[in-house]
């Protein structure tokens, strides 16, 4: 009891949480005041949407950091959960919007429609475009927002739980596990690409930016609302994640990252810890996806191809692993830079005899910068903050971290 009293409060032990929350609050207020809907209109709606989406990506990056930076699992399938969240909320968005359209259209008939006719009409409207007219079984709950919201958490959580249980139980780890997570997202993507899977195949779910029941509200306002929601979700998730990794739980998790076998010998249920973090991260990622896709407007299986998850890992790496704010910085900086450079606005560089057009060369620069960051700045951008704030990683010099091969090296633990 006394021990608890003498312990500093969570926030004081983690001043960075306050800083992050403050920055986030200032950012949100500033964007609101400059938006078209609530302020001067300096920031156009399309930019508000980009910023809102970037916050969702940052949220996914925080979850990725939990899994990779703290638990040591380089999950290359994290975007599967992100996209699943988007698909599940998209089902309701699409169904409810279509239902209102179909109901209005059928109401013009001389005879009121039966529920079956209404559903048939909705199915025809949604799936007619991909050549089907039946509502697949997976759409059974699409009419209900509460159920779909629940599923946003439940389905990715369950997938992570089952996948994690199978993988951790058979002690698959390191590079093997990374490849396996990649296989998981690829399998899911290929499954969704099929028309028969009931998610409209390659067309995916579209028109998600039109929120049913909010027809009177324009996109300028909606985009700000979504920005608020995304900022709130990010703040909550950040606090949750910071709290989780700061306590005893966090110590065990980091210990698993540094040497799984020793933690197991100490009697901790390693698989249980891994499962909790992995599942929680999947659920956070799914929430991020559920907030992201209504702002993006469309979701299709290309969103969960392995490359998307690798980008997520790269953001976290560039931002700085093992620091939650590093993940946010990485996601924000790299995704915004990418969108600026590919937007065709970045000025071309005129070299003698050749014009470097950023649309063509941005990918090359980005790729090389990963290499440079991993080689020369393994702590990422957050490493700079570490130096500024004098926050140093725990001194572990001279201590053997485990076998001389594998993922558990000192350098990696420190980085």
Partner 1 sequence: MKRLSAMLMLTSAMTLATGAMAQEGEPIRIGVLHSLSGTMAISETTLKDTVLMMVEQQNAKGGLLGRPLEAVVVDPASDWPLFAEKARELLTVSEVDAIFGCWTSVSRKSVLPVIEELNGLLFYPVQYEGEESSRNVIYTGAAPNQQAIPAVDYMMEELGVEKWALLGTDYVYPRTTNNILDAYLKQKGVAEGDIFVNYTPFGHSDWSKIVADVVALGADGKKVGVVSTINGDANVGFYKELAAAGVSADDIPVMAFSVGEEELAGLDTTNLVGHLAAWNYFQTADTPENAAFIEEWHKFIGDDKRVTNDPMEATMIGFNAWVAAVEKAGTTDVDPVLEAIVGVEVPNLTGGTATVLPNHHLTKPVLIGEIREDGQFDIVSQTEPVEGDAWTDFLPESAKLAADWPGKDCGMFNQETNTCVQAQSNY
Partner 2 sequence: MIRPLIALALTLLLAMPASANPALEAVIADNLDQIEKPSRRTVEPLVAQIAATGPEGLALLQAWSGRALGVTDDGRLLIVDGDTATDAVTGAAVTDAEPKMLRPNSGVRGVIESALVAGEISSPDPARRAAALASIARDGTAEHLAALRAAPAEPDPILARQRQRVTNLLAIRFDAEPAARVAAIERMAGDVGLDFRAALNPLLATSRIAAPAEPDANIARELSIGADDFPRDAAIALLTSQGVLQPRLTPADQRNALAANVTGGTVGGIPVADLFDPAARDRAYEALEASGAVPPAATEAEADAALESHRFFEVYAEPNPDVTDAARAAQTRAQVRLAAMTGIDLGLDALSLASIYFLAAIGLAVTFGVMRVINMAHGEFIMMGAYTGYVVQTLIANRTLSLVVALPLAFAVTFGAGVVLYRLVIRHLAHRPLETLLATFGVSIALQQLAKNIFGTQARPLTAPAWLEGAVTINDVISISSIRVAIFVLALLFLGLFLFIMKRTRLGLEVRAVTQNPGMAASMGINPDRIAMMTFGLGSGIAGIAGVAIGLFAQVTSELGQQYIVQSFMTVVVGGVGNIWGTLAGAALIGGLSKVIEFLNPANTLAAQTFMILFIIIFIQFRPRGIIPQRGRAAEA
* Contact residues: partner 1, CB under 8 A: 44-47, 49-50, 101, 104-105, 108-109, 124-125, 128-131, 133, 190, 193-195, 200-204, 206-207, 209-210, 219, 293, 296-300, 302-303, 339, 342-344, 359-360, 363
- The option from partner 2, partner 1, none interacting with 403 (CB < 5 to 8 A, set by class) reads partner 2
Compare residues 168 and 292 and give the one whose CB is closer to partner 1: 292
- The option from partner 2, partner 1, none interacting with 134 (CB < 5 to 8 A, set by class) reads none
Longest alpha-carbon distance in the chain: 84
Sign of CA dihedral 282, 285, 290, 293: negative
Compare residues 136 and 406 and give the one whose CB is closer to partner 1: 136
Q: Give exposure, 76-113, as e/b (b: 16+ Cβ within 10 Å).
A: bbbbbbbbbbbbbbbbbbbbbbbbeebeeebeeeeeeb
What angle separates helix 219-246 from helix 270-296, to the nearest 10 degrees? Answer: 170
- The option from partner 2, partner 1, none interacting with 166 (CB < 5 to 8 A, set by class) reads partner 2
Which residue in this structure is represented by tokens 């991909």? 130
Compare residues 34 and 179 and give the one whose CB is closer to partner 2: 179
Output the CA angle 106-108-114, nearest 5 degrees.
Answer: 35
Find how far residue 249's CA is from the centre of its chain: 23
- Bridge-based pairing of strands 354-356 and 205-206 is unpaired
Query: Is the distance from CB of 152 to CB of 89 less than 8 angstroms?
Result: yes
Per CB under 8 A, residues contacting partner 2 are 74, 109-117, 163, 166-167, 169-172, 174-176, 178-180, 182-184, 186-187, 190-191, 193-194, 196, 306, 310, 313-314, 317, 360-371, 374-375, 378, 403-407, 409, 411-412, 415
Compare residues 186 and 211 and give the one whose CB is closer to partner 2: 186
- The option from partner 1, partner 2, none interacting with 409 (CB < 5 to 8 A, set by class) reads partner 2
Compare residues 44 and 378 and give the one whose CB is closer to partner 1: 44
């Amino acid at each position: 009891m006394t021990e608890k009293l003498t312990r500093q409060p969570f926030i004081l032990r983690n001043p960075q949480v306050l800083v992050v929350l403050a920055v986030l609050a200032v950012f949100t207020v500033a964007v609101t005041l400059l938006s078209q809907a609530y302020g001067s209109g300096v920031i156009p709606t399309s930019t508000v949407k980009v910023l809102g989406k970037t916050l969702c990506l940052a949220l996914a990056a925080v979850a990725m950091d939990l899994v990779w930076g703290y638990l040591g699992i380089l999950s290359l399938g994290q975007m599967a959960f992100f996209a699943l969240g988007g698909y599940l909320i998209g089902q309701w968005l699409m169904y409810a919007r279509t239902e209102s359209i179909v109901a209005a259209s059928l109401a013009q008939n001389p005879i009121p429609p039966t529920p079956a006719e209404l559903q048939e009409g909705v199915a025809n409207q949604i799936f007619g475009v991909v050549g089907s007219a039946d509502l697949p079984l997976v759409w059974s709950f699409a009419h209900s927002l509460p159920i779909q919201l629940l599923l946003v958490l439940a389905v990715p959580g369950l997938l992570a739980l089952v996948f994690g249980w199978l993988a951790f139980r058979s002690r698959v780890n390191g590079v093997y596990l990374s490849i396996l997570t990649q296989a998981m997202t690829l399998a899911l993507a290929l499954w969704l690409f099929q028309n028969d899977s009931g998610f409209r195949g390659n067309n995916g779910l579209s028109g998600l930016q039109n929120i049913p029941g909010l027809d009177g509200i324009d996109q300028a306002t909606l985009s700000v609302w979504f920005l608020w929601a995304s900022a709130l979700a990010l703040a909550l998730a950040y606090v949750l994640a910071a709290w989780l990794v700061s306590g005893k739980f966090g110590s065990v998790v980091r210990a698993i990252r540094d040497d799984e076998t020793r933690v197991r010998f100490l009697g901790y249920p390693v698989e249980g810890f891994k499962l909790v973090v992995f599942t929680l991260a999947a659920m956070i990622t799914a929430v991020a996806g559920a907030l992201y896709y209504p702002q993006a407007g469309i979701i299709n299986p290309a969103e969960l191809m392995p490359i998307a998850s690798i980008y997520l890992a790269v953001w976290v790496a560039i931002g700085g692993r093992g620091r939650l704010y590093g993940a946010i910085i990485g996601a924000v900086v790299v995704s915004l830079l990418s969108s600026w450079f590919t937007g065709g606005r970045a000025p071309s560089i005129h070299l003698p005899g050749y014009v470097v057009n950023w649309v063509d060369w941005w990918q090359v620069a980005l790729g090389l910068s990963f290499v440079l960051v991993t080689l020369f700045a393994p702590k990422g951008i957050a490493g700079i903050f570490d130096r500024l704030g004098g926050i140093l990683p725990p001194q572990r010099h001279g201590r053997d971290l485990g076998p001389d091969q594998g993922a558990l090296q000192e350098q990696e633990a420190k980085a």
